[in-house]
Structure 1
């Protein structure tokens, strides 16, 4: 508890957390916002899943590219430029919708590519803001916990936006929150004064050149699969019960379970960041989603969705601790972005495939098929990536 108190009382930490949380809301809102936009206008699950996949995959590509520029130029200029482009693209997507699928596809891809790299930027700031050791571990856990709060609030904001201004309301909300939050974060003193670490001759290149980091990224990708599939699974479950609002509540419940686990981790920081800890956490995540394959009543299925989210912050906390431990300092922002990219790629592919499966199977068959396939993939990747014999750090 003392470590968490230290983090929260450190200069600008509350501002950094709050603004980054607002700026990251589109990440939590976008999939459901696109789904509500397209389905509300009579579009198919395949189109909705495809647009969501383009948006998420675009972010997955854009985050490392923008983070690499941050590692060379600094944060605030890159963040503000990206926010401006992404905001315009979201507005275009909201206007085009299901009536102009090609325009919507381009807008979704651009919105994703230009997503401001707030998350890797904040992770790069933590070692400069708080002291190393338990306090830094508490900061990472708190960061992950706050991120889950985003995923609690985000789906509900998407639903609220649609209720207030129509089918495109959630997508418009993505534009507004992304711009406001990024502006607040980028203009903080800590972000403006952050300077990249000069590279040395032996640490040039990309984090992808280091096998030990790639295995961490693969676990992050696997962790994104059940999370990405959940939006489509929840929508299919809601259709089965003829209540579209179930979708938002299920996603919010899933994030709420992760939020509680993340906050607990901030109070009791995780001490282990080894390959074994990461594998165990990944397997727990896969197992946690299995009950969602069962034909449970709504009153049980939504709490099960909350329980399914509990292991996610543990996985992400260990992932970011390992990146901090293993990565050369001048590549840290990019490495953190590759974690987000890997997670987003897993979520994007899962959303796309889940949409196709749901369009071609009945809800009764599509839900267990999607859930079981996602859990199996996550468990398999976590087991295959476990290399306890290669724990050598990349930095001294």
Structure 2
């Protein structure tokens, strides 16, 4: 186990053997996540001439990405990253290539476009969960792993901001389908570099006959990570709701799309700052307690957003809310990582990621339904209450785990690792 200081720096994370190469290639591939969806939506809209068709196609893409994420993660746990990611990449690139050809010119057949988009989503390589499993393996010191996860979360936040900006530049001088090609190229280069990294090649498939309750099937894995999955769903619900509620708020106060972008940028900036600060602190409280407090803090910040009288105040409230987002997700990933055996870490991370995305989808749909007949301030309040409830749920789960630990029925090894995170 590598020796580190009490508060290892972010530079120490990048000094881990092969960390910089592995992380850089993973980020290169993950940049595709911020480019391909928007490019597909714009290209399908142009090719079909229908926003309804584009919406349906993107719903299929999102459904296959989210719902099949645990399946893809299970394949990586079972067969290893190299043997699993390469076939996924080839299938993903094939689907994107055919999709590009189908939407290059107007008049694309809806069924063909929908089928290819769904296939592309079903095969997308899960570089995020796999990279976090790599971090867990190479950053064995728990304080160093906390830094690594925080760095990973902040970098991912920046990717999802910069990806759409790149698409905006591309569509300024070419057809949207070019964005699909660029995203596919980034995924190909990133995944190829990732799977050839010695840190990734050293990862072995899960051993059969692992200790019951730590690896095993999907239900066993999910049963051990209910708290972080629930908290991640709450954070995702908040993010999905805010994307729409900020638009509604700006429209009601006479502001345009540029103002919406600035408010959402404030949310991302707050998240980046919160993620960096979270990784820099040597926490003494158990990770489950921190997760509950972070969820409660996010809920209270959203209640405050409901009281905002204007866009400037709302931007400030969004900045405060963002401070809790990245730390909450990072802590959820840490808890999930510690709750399962090494052979199930990709699945555990994928479940947290799936919960975030699913919560975001539900949040957007719910906010859209409520904003039609409720004041936007009430919608912010209801979103905050929902997140508060997830925080209270984590709190109750933490108390039960503590009681079980005192009674001797909890897993001492897992609990000890969580407290050290």
State the match for 2:130 in structure 1.
Answer: 121
State the match for 1:72 in structure 2.
Answer: 78
Rate the CA distance shift 1:29–1:239 in 2: closer, same or farther, 3 A: farther
Counterparts of 1:394 and 1:170 in 2: how far apart (Å)? 49
State the match for 2:191 in structure 1.
Answer: 182
Larger mean Cα displacement after TM superposition, 372-381 or 342-351: 372-381
Structure 1 counterpart SS, 2:300: helix
Counterparts of 2:27 and 2:309 in 1: how far apart (Å)? 33
Structure 1 counterpart SS, 2:60: helix
Counterparts of 1:169 and 1:238 in 2: how far apart (Å)? 32
In the TM superposition, what is the alpha-carbon distance from 1:117 to its structure 2 partner? Answer: 1.3
**In the TM superposition, what are the counterparts of 1:143-222 in structure 2 within 5 Å?**
143-168=152-177, 170-203=179-212, 205-209=216-220, 211-222=223-234
> Does residue 287 of the first structure (1) align with residue 293 of the second (2)?
no
Match of 1:15 among 18, 21, 26: 21
1:312-331 residue CA offsets vs partner (Å, 9 max, x unmatched): 11111211221122112221
Larger mean Cα displacement after TM superposition, 349-358 or 71-80: 349-358
> Does residue 390 of the first structure (1) align with residue 401 of the second (2)?
yes
State the match for 1:110 in structure 2.
Answer: 119
State the match for 1:330 in structure 2.
Answer: 343
Counterparts of 1:77 and 1:2 in 2: how far apart (Å)? 33
CA RMSD between the two structures: 3.4
In the TM superposition, what is the alpha-carbon distance from 1:140 to its structure 2 partner? Answer: 1.8
> Does residue 230 of the first structure (1) align with residue 238 of the second (2)?
no
State the match for 2:151 in structure 1.
Answer: 142
CA contact (8 A) 1:30 1:52 kept: no
Counterparts of 1:231 and 1:43 in 2: how far apart (Å)? 22
In the TM superposition, what is the alpha-carbon distance from 1:91 to its structure 2 partner? Answer: 5.2
> What is the total number of aligned residue pairs between the two structures?
391
State the match for 2:418 in structure 1.
Answer: none
Counterparts of 1:334 and 1:200 in 2: how far apart (Å)? 17
1:301-344 residue CA offsets vs partner (Å, 9 max, x unmatched): 44543333211111112112211221122212111111111111
Match of 1:263 among 276, 281, 287: 276
Counterparts of 2:307 and 2:257 in 1: how far apart (Å)? 19
Structure with bigger RCO (C-alpha 8 Å, 6+ apart) = 1
Structure 2 counterpart SS, 1:10: coil
In the TM superposition, what is the alpha-carbon distance from 1:118 to its structure 2 partner? Answer: 0.9
Counterparts of 2:258 and 2:45 in 1: how far apart (Å)? 13
Counterparts of 1:89 and 1:199 in 2: how far apart (Å)? 33
1:277-318 residue CA offsets vs partner (Å, 9 max, x unmatched): 212111222333345556755555445433332111111121
Please, what TM-score do these two structures have when normalized by structure 1? 0.83
Return 5+ residue gaps in structure 1 as ranges. none
Counterparts of 2:36 and 2:306 in 1: how far apart (Å)? 24
In the TM superposition, what is the alpha-carbon distance from 1:158 to its structure 2 partner? Answer: 3.3
CA contact (8 A) 2:36 2:184 kept: no
